[in-house]
């Protein structure tokens, strides 16, 4: 193995740049050349690639987003698209690939390996923290800190006016962000996709605060009732309670990564290079109980990662 490629795909996550830097530095120490694929799978299909060196990856540790850019590429879902991508990898002399992203990225990586046999290793880059096989994903820690800071500010105005606020956080179909920030910010109720939202219980908790008291309800975007706006509407229609809604949205993906995310990204970036050198392929490099672990890519989406039960119990106890 002489030349490897690294790319970021799907939703961006804080820490991806630290990951790219770690891949370049580690590969260089092992005498490998590194190619950066610009624009995710779209860049792979079009051959948009550039050599990464020490200068190109300098001073990017503290930057949010990804210097290699990212995209969602429907064309890669078709066998013809993957064949086109493989032809580009061959023409650029790529012997192995490191894919940083979420489950969509890993589905594509798995198919690319199955159909064309190129060694490929995944690293978990998503703020949702929903990938099985790693305790935390790159970007998650920054996202929950960003969300908590925003919710603390919302609480100030909610307290001043005695208002009920529904605050929606990201996480797609997983409630990790909602549960963590809900506990951290003292929410009166946390609605997550993993469990049915009990409207009557939600109303009781709001009333327990007093109609003119500050109340914060955290809603995961994948909540089965339709998110923060829908919950706000249901509470008003059934119980006559008015509320304010804040959708934190994509601000949770941006910003300088926390120390925790930088260290995790660096560790997994270095480990992904070593995995390729050790002949590992079609696997994700994760961190479990402080140890680097390799799990088959298919396991990362076929096994469901659950919100810890102790967090659910804690959230109920602290209301």
The 3 state secondary structure assigned to 302-313 is HCCCCCCHHHHH
The active-site residue out of 12, 103, 128, 130 is 128
The reply to whether 127 and 167 lie within a common domain is no
Instruction: Compute the distance between CA of residue 203 and CA of residue 287 in angstroms, rounded to an integer.
Output: 39
pTM: 0.96
Containing domain of residue 49, as a range?
3-139+257-302
The domain boundary, picked from 226, 253, 280, lies at 253
**Cα of 154 vs its chain's centroid, Å:** 24
CATH number of the domain enclosing 58? 3.40.50.450
pLDDT attached to residue 318:
86
Domain annotation covers residue 317: no
Indicate the average pLDDT of the chain.
96
Q: What is the maximal distance between C-alpha atoms in the chain?
A: 68
Domain annotation covers residue 316: no
**Residue (of 257, 231, 255, 225) closest to 245 by Cα position:** 231
The reply to whether 164 and 127 lie within a common domain is no
Tell me which of 222 and 43 has the higher pLDDT: 43
The reply to whether 36 and 107 lie within a common domain is yes
Mean pLDDT of the region 258-280: 98
Count of domains for the chain: 2
- In tens, the pLDDT along 169-228 reads 999 899 999 999 999 999 999 999 998 999 999 999 999 887 677 899 999 999 999 999
The reply to whether 211 and 145 lie within a common domain is yes
Domain annotation covers residue 39: yes
Known catalytic residue: 128?
yes
Q: Which segments of the chain does DSSP mark as H helices, in order?
A: 16-29, 40-46, 79-91, 103-116, 140-161, 176-184, 199-209, 228-239, 259-277, 297-302, 309-317
Instruction: Name the band, by pLDDT with cuts 50, 70 and 90, for residue 273.
Output: very high
Domain annotation covers residue 314: no
**Residue (of 81, 70, 98) closest to 5 by Cα position:** 98
Domain annotation covers residue 172: yes
The reply to whether 151 and 234 lie within a common domain is yes
The reply to whether 132 and 261 lie within a common domain is yes
If you search the block for the tokens 């799978």, which residue do you land on?
41
Residue 168 has pLDDT above 70, yes or no: yes
**Exposed e or buried b for every residue in 221-242, given b needs 16+ CB within 10 A?**
bbbeeebbebbbebbeeeeeee
The reply to whether 147 and 134 lie within a common domain is no
The reply to whether 170 and 66 lie within a common domain is no
The reply to whether 178 and 78 lie within a common domain is no
CATH number of the domain enclosing 165? 3.40.50.460
Domain annotation covers residue 309: no
Domain annotation covers residue 20: yes
Domain annotation covers residue 126: yes
Helices (H) and strands (E) in the chain, counts: 11, 11
Residue 312 has pLDDT above 70, yes or no: yes
Residue 266 has pLDDT above 80, yes or no: yes
CA angle at 268 for the pair 263 and 274, rounded to the nearest 5°: 130
The domain boundary, picked from 218, 237, 253, lies at 253
């Amino acid at each position: 193995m002489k030349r490897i490629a690294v790319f970021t795909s799907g939703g961006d996550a804080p820490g991806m740049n630290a990951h790219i830097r770690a891949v370049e530095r580690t590969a260089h120490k092992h005498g490998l050349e590194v190619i950066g694929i610009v624009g995710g799978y779209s860049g792979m299909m079009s051959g948009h690639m550039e050599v990464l060196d020490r200068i190109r990856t300098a001073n990017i540790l503290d930057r949010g987003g990804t210097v290699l850019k990212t995209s969602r590429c429907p064309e890669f879902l078709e066998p013809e698209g993957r064949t086109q991508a493989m032809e580009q990898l061959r023409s650029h002399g790529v012997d192995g690939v490191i894919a940083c992203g979420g489950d969509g990225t890993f589905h594509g990586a798995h198919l690319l390996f199955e159909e064309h046999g190129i060694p490929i290793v995944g690293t978990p880059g998503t703020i949702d923290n929903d990938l099985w096989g790693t305790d935390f994903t790159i970007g998650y820690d920054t996202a929950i800190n960003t969300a908590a800071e925003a919710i603390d500010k919302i609480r100030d105005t909610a307290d001043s006016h005695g208002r009920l606020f529904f605050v929606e956080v990201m996480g797609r179909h997983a409630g990790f962000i909602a549960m963590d920030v809900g506990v951290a910010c003292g929410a009166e109720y946390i609605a997550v996709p993993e469990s049915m939202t009990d409207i009557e219980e939600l109303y009781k908790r709001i009333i327990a605060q007093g109609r003119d008291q500050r109340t914060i309800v955290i809603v995961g975007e994948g909540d089965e009732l339709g998110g923060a706006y829908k919950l706000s509407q249901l509470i008003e229609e059934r119980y006559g309670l008015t509320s304010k809604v804040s959708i934190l949205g994509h601000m949770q993906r941006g910003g300088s990564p926390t120390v925790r995310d930088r260290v995790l990204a660096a560790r997994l970036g270095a480990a992904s290079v070593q995995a390729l050198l050790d002949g590992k392929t079609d696997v994700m490099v994760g961190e479990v109980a402080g140890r680097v672990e390799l799990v088959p890519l298919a396991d990362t989406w076929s096994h469901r990662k659950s919100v810890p039960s102790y967090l659910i119990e804690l959230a109920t106890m602290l209301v």
